[in-house]
Amino acid sequence: MPGYKLYYFNVRGRAELARLILHCAGVPFEDFRFEGKDWPAIKPNMPFGQVPVLEVDGDKMLAQSYTIARYLARQHGLAGQNDWEQSQADMYADCIYDLHGIMRTPTWETDPVKQKELFDKVNEETIQPHLEKIEQHLTKNGSGYLVGQGLTWADIAYYAFFTTPIMTRLGSEVLTKAPHLKKLIELVGNYPNIKKYVETRPVTSA
Ligand code: GSH
């Protein structure tokens, strides 16, 4: 088993998907969380001056959150059963990467009224249309999972995104028209290793 050390700030952010994959697979790793004040000393040692970074066996360094997540999924049986399933999982995960970026835009608005308008707009114009498509895909696949017959890192990516603190900004009814996805998120959240981690992880604002 490789030795893993995951570098990131003490928030869920872009590292949480990797953390969830590792916990789900029951793989031990060093969850190296640091505070903002420690970042200037760490930054020069990161491959591109950013985090998350996965250190493997003490010397290999991998950057880019979704590259890390995909690598871990492949290593630990969560990438899909064949090339087609793996590409489907990648496709869904990339959708979440895009949504993650779009959801961040309103957070830069400082006026609370304008910010709420921006979140509502993202919900109406991006999130809800995406959910409509996801419902169709989940219905067609029929297994309850996004890809094939079992859990992949794509399911975990949807779980991570839709349970992230920022999603509360869209209101509790965000998944009302997405019953299949709601069920999938509950399913992922009830995997024993995920449940155990989520119940005990540090409480953070992001
Ligand atoms: N595309 C990269 C990924 O997905 O990993 C983005 C990484 C990124 O933006 N990292 C931020 C960071 O390291 C934290 S979320 N910020 C500190 C800095 O750039 O100095």
Burial 58-90 (b: 16+ CB within 10 A, else e): eeeebbbbbebbbbbbebbebbbeeeebbebbb
The CA distance from 156 to 18, in Å, is 9
2, 142 Cβ separation under 8 angstroms = no
pLDDT tens-digit readout, 80-115: 999 999 999 999 999 999 999 999 999 999 999 999
Question: Each residue's pLDDT tens digit in the chain (206 positions)?
Answer: 789 999 999 999 999 999 999 999 999 999 999 999 999 999 999 999 999 999 999 999 999 999 999 999 999 999 999 999 999 999 999 999 999 999 999 999 999 999 999 999 999 999 999 999 999 999 999 999 999 999 999 999 999 999 999 888 898 899 999 999 999 999 999 999 999 999 999 999 88
Tally of structural domains, the chain: 2
The protein residue whose alpha carbon is closest to atom 15 in ligand 1 is: 14
* Ligand 1 pocket test target in 7, 12, 14 with most atoms within 8 Å of CB: 14
Q: What are phi and psi of 8, to 5 degrees?
A: -165, 165
Q: What integer best gives the mean pLDDT of the chain?
A: 97
Does the predicted TM-score (pTM) go above 0.90?
A: yes
124 within domain boundaries: yes
Q: Based on the domain organization, do 57 and 125 belong to the same domain?
A: no
Give me 120's structure tokens: 């509502």
The whole domain housing 66 covers: 4-77+193-200
Same domain, 150 and 106: yes
Q: Is residue 206 part of a domain?
A: no
Partner residues linked to 7 by β-bridges: 32, 53
Decide: 97 in ligand 1 pocket, CB within 6 A. Answer: no
Residue 151 and residue 145 in contact, taking contact as beta carbons nearer than 8 Å: yes
Stated as kind and residue range, the H or E segment containing 76 is none
In a domain, 205, yes or no: no
Looking at this predicted complex, what is its ipTM? 0.98
Q: In what order do the strands lie in the sheet with 53-56?
A: 30-34, 4-9, 53-56, 60-63
Would you say the CB of residue 65 lies under 6 angstroms from ligand 1?
yes
CATH number at residue 139: 1.20.1050.10
Contact between residue 186 and residue 120 where contact means Cβ atoms under 8 Å apart: no
